[in-house]
Structure 1
Amino acid sequence: MKIAMCLEPVMSPKWHYGREMCVDEAVGMRDATPEVPIWDYLTLARVKKSYEDFGYKLRVLEGWVPMDAIKRGLPEAEQEMEQVLKTIENMGALGIEVLCYGWMAVNGWMRTSNTTRLPGGALTTSFDFSLIENDPRQKGPVTISEDFLWGTLEKFLERAIPVAEKAGVKLAMHPDDPPLSPLLGVGRIMNSVENFERLLKLNDSPANGITFCQANFAAMNADVPAAIRRLGSDGRIHFVHFRDIEGDAYKMHETFHGMGRTDMYETIRAYMDIGFDGVMRPDHAPVMYGEPNANPGYEGLGRIYAVGYMRGLIEAASKERAR
């Protein structure tokens, strides 16, 4: 398995931190910068080259292509679908291996605080369902049902998987964050181990796979190492978000890597057991002293800690396995 840095397209200290730690794999993630038409071949080629010029190999794209209309079955869905398919084709032509996507409609990943303070003073993000349960949207009717979302997902895979297979690109579904349904009147479906098994059964292609975001499976109250072995037994965990939490889907906060509820060493052993050889990136690190908290969960110093921690776990598990 390979440790990667998650890097927004605008160069930042994280770009330097990664290379200084000799990380040379990158996950390209669009942040709040203006939309980049990544489905245009030359645009994607330039983006890829910007990572390469800095010393990174761009392995994964996250969050670049609008898909909400597809999930919701809106009139704009066909335009979005064409953009997704073109992106997949161009990724294959440029050697970018994995497209990470999710199926959270209307509401993406949600937190009720970006300034929760950990015991040592670092700031982290948290979610407390009690703070939104009286929201009229939560008390009102469900506007998009789970059945509807399963239907739009099945239609999406019917069109996207053949294109991905031809391009040599893997599609990797991210869990709901938090894994609750409904949330503010909208159903959510990627919120249990069983539903991820259902996703894999919708299309048995090797291109139809998972972004295993560990903290979300922990929030589902899953045995995370067991879920890795269960869902990854046929090689369809394509990408890993290495992160942890305290709590569950209803009330949780993000922790430094190795300080949450999950046995992170056992997760590394589980990835080795299934033969995972893809990209793993640190995710959602607390914000440390001197950082602006302008991008909660995605500042840089916590990732320095995370990369060292991940390397130590991988080295220890490798040596144990060799013995």
Structure 2
Amino acid sequence: MIDFKSLAAVKTQLKNPTEQRQQESRKHYQFALDFLEKYRQNLEQETLKKAIQELVTTLKYDKNQAEPYLLLSYLYFALEQPQLAVKYLKKGQELSPHSTFAQDLQFFLDKGKPLPYLPKKKPEPLTYDPEVLYSQMEWLLQQIKSQMTEYAIVADLEKLETQLAKLETAIPSWLSACHLIQQKLEQLDRHFDINPFFEDTQAIEAYYIQLSQSEIQLRSGLKIHQQIGNIFNEISTNKAHLEDLDLEHLLDRCDLIADQLDDLDSHNELYRLLEAKYHQMIQCVEESQDLLNA
């Protein structure tokens, strides 16, 4: 007689191996998160290694989830092992190309700056008054927030270089501020509920990222503006001898500028100003071509 119960059990086992592997993967991923939480409290390198081991085990069971790859990238980046960080980041990006976490990691990798969020050494013995530190933190956040309008970008093509220089000076200071805030929060977290600071610290970190993105936009905008200016100058210089102009080459350069414009944020005023300047340049090139063909 056929044992239908046993047969059903076998079918269930055959049907759900993927689900079982996913469960194992989730279990080890949670173990990794637990070790990271433990590391945040004891700052033992051995604890961090265990977290990494659990993440590697997680991927043995399920290689189709982006989070373990991205977390491994984060940890290796924080441990100053960029080759491994890039390796796991690329895999995470393949699985989740729109992940905000992946974008943040890529940003820090591109900048070549260390992540400020993961401590690597045991803290010194307590040599501060927590109450005083709490008051200092309130004052520090207030001071930093008061400077958040100081670096507003003005859409002025003639001031791009000046604004870029100002940002290049400001950004390291803001990164240092983020480091300092994180350091003080780690100290305060041992004594107080730090949630009241969360909104302000998030705003400051977001502003730092905004400044860095503005730096990229300004740098690209300045390059485009200079290239457009060069074409205007060439046409102006050769106005009396248009036959000396290589118009085909100029049009190729215009196409390259158009590609660079496409990479800018089309929602900001800088893009609109450069786009208008670009169309003026195209009109100037076309007029030169018409005169040459006349």
Alignment TM-score, normalising by the size of structure 2: 0.28
Alignment TM-score, normalising by the size of structure 1: 0.26
Q: Which has the higher strand share?
A: 1
Q: Which has the higher relative contact order, 1 or 2, with Cα contacts under 8 A spaced 6 or more apart? A: 1
